[in-house]
Copies of this chain bind each other. A is one copy, B any other.
């Protein structure tokens, strides 16, 4: 979804434009999907795993997959087998109404989980689409469950991740239910900003990889309204925006919108 100046393109995905990837980590660039070597491990896995635990982890998460911009990692209706972690790039998840209307339910950046909607009825309930050329780790869910029965810390971590999704969504509902268009856009920018900060990227300058339309769908408004809010914030000197490139000028001001 976003790229920052600190982003380093992975060799296998190199393009003219910067990509989101693991923060600098010379080792992980060249080695196949291995949690034990991954710079994102602190983000998507429990922090207190022993060396032995890591070996076990490596045996279940052995594969990764590249997904090209616009391609689906999975689609609603697909049988559920694995959950995923974004390694590089970004995704949106969308649910599609029978009448064809679609709603973006989330954006996912490196280190964030994907696919947990499918656990419930063992069928995915949304599409996960890459917003740019991306790569993900594949975590076969039955193996993860096996590991969770063995490792308390892993079990706990998985539960936290799932609960985190629940909390994330109820925050979004709050936004969709109660907030005006300007408040939503401000809250969205601040949310992106903190998520980037957690991952060590600059929270004040980033690229939004999704279109205004996708942002609008996520925020429950039209693309025109999104655009107007960006213009308005720019006039108020809260941000500088040229297309997808965003710079936050007055973060406290944004919080007061």
Contacts and interface: CB of A to CB of B under 8 A. Distances in A.
A105 B175 CA distance: 11
A46 interface: no
A173 interface: yes
A134 interface: no
B101 A163 contact: no
B126 A170 contact: yes
Nearest to A221: B177
Interface residues of A, number: 44
A177 to B, nearest CB: 4
Contacts of A174: 95, 97, 103, 105
Contacts of A220: 176-178
Contacts of A95: 170-171, 173-174
Interface string A152-179: 1001101111111111011111101110
Nearest to A151: B149
Interface stretch (A67-75, A114-122, A236-244): A114-122
A112 to B, nearest CB: 14
A173 B171 contact: no
A58 interface: no
Given A126-B170, A149-B155, A176-B220, A163 B97 contact: no
A251 interface: no
B117 A167 contact: yes
Contacts of A207: none
Given A95-B170, A120-B167, 18 more contacts: A95-B173, A97-B174, A97-B178, A103-B173, A105-B173, A117-B163, A119-B159, A119-B160, A120-B163, A145-B152, A145-B156, A149-B155, A162-B163, A165-B166, A169-B173, A173-B176, A177-B219, A178-B220
8 contacts: A103-B173, A120-B164, A145-B155, A145-B159, A162-B166, A165-B166, A169-B173, A176-B220
Interface of A: 93, 95, 97, 101, 103, 105, 116-121, 125-126, 145, 148-150, 152, 155-156, 158-167, 169-174, 176-178, 217-220
